[in-house]
Amino acid sequence: MAGPRVEVDGGIMEGGGQILRVSTALSCLLGLPLRVQKIRAGRSTPGLSFGGWKSKMKVLVGPQHLSGLEMIRDLCDGQLEGAEIGSTEIMFTPEKIKGGVHTADTKTAGSVCLLMQVSMPCVLFAACPSELRLKGGTNAEMAPQIDYTAMVFKPIVEKFGFTFNCDIKMRGYYPKGGGEVIVRMSPVKQLSPINLTDRGCVTKIYGRAFVAGVLPFKVAKDMAAAAVRCIRKEIRDLYVNIQPVQEPKDQAFGNGNGIIIIAETSTGCLFAGSSLGKRGVNADKVGIEAAEMLLANLRHGGAVDEYLQDQLIIFMALASGISRIKTGPVTLHTQTAIHFAEQLAKAKFTVKKSEDEEDASKDTYIIECQGIGMTNPNL
Q: Convert the pLDDT of each residue in 62-95 to its tens digit.
A: 566 788 899 999 999 999 998 887 788 899 999 9
Would you call 339 a catalytic residue per the annotation?
A: no
What single letter denotes the amino acid at residue 165?
A: N
Q: Residue 238: its pLDDT value, please?
A: 95
Where is average pLDDT lowest: 56-60, 216-220, 234-238, 321-325?
56-60
Nearest CA to 71 out of 207, 183, 190 is that of 183
What domains, with CATH codes, occur in the chain?
A: 6-191 (3.65.10.20), 202-300 (3.30.360.20)
Q: What is the per-residue pLDDT for 58?
A: 26
64 marked as binding residue: no
| 3-state SS assignment for residue 214 | coil
Query: What per-residue confidence (pLDDT) applies to 57?
Result: 27
Q: What is the pLDDT of residues 339-353, one digit of tens each?
A: 999 999 999 999 999
Confidence of residue 2 (pLDDT cuts 50, 70, 90): low
Q: Are the CB atoms for 68 and 118 separated by under 8 Å?
A: yes
Phi/psi of residue 18, each to 5°? Answer: -65, -40
Average pLDDT over residues 131-138: 96
Window from 47-56, 68-77, 110-119, 320-329 with minimum mean pLDDT: 47-56
pLDDT recorded at residue 9: 92
CA-CA distance, 48 to 16, in Å (whole number)? 8
Report d(CA 5, CA 27) in Å as an integer.
Answer: 10
Lowest mean pLDDT among 14-23, 90-99, 142-151, 309-318: 14-23
Amino acid at 66: L
Condensed to tens digits (0 to 9), the pLDDT of residues 88-130 reads 889 999 999 999 999 999 988 889 999 999 999 999 999 999 9
- The answer on pLDDT for 195 being more than 70 is yes
Strands (E), 39-186: 79-81, 90-93, 100-105, 130-136, 164-172, 179-185
Helix (H, G, I), strand (E, B) or coil at 260: strand
Q: Residue 50: is its pLDDT beyond 60?
A: no
Q: Are 139 and 145 in contact (CB under 8 A)?
A: yes
251 marked among binding-site residues: no
Q: Are 358 and 315 in contact (CB under 8 A)?
A: no
Q: How far apart are the first and last CA of the chain?
A: 19
49 band by pLDDT with thresholds 50, 70 and 90: low
Interval 237-295: pLDDT, tens: 999 999 999 999 999 999 999 999 999 999 999 999 999 999 999 999 999 999 999 99
Distance of CA 79 to the CA centre of its chain: 25
pTM over 0.75: yes
* 309 marked as part of a ligand binding site: yes
Grouping H, G, I as helix, E, B as strand and the rest as coil, residue 120 is: helix
Predicted confidence at residue 62, as pLDDT, reads 55
311 annotated as belonging to a binding site for a ligand: yes
- Mean pLDDT, the chain, whole residue set: 92
* Nearest CA-CA partner of 25 in 350, 344, 287: 344
Q: Is 35 left (phi over 0), alpha (psi -120 to 50) or beta?
A: beta
From 102, 300, 333, 339, active-site residue? 333
Q: Return the SS3 of 339.
A: helix
What is the pLDDT at residue 46?
64
Checking if the pLDDT of 40 tops 80, the result is: no
For 237, the 3-state DSSP assignment is coil
Is there a binding annotation on residue 307? yes
Question: Among residues 202, 228, 232, which one has the least CA distance to residue 301?
Answer: 202
Beta-strand (E) ranges in 70-163? 79-81, 90-93, 100-105, 130-136
Per-residue pLDDT, 63: 63
- Reduced to 3 states, what is the DSSP secondary structure of residue 238? coil
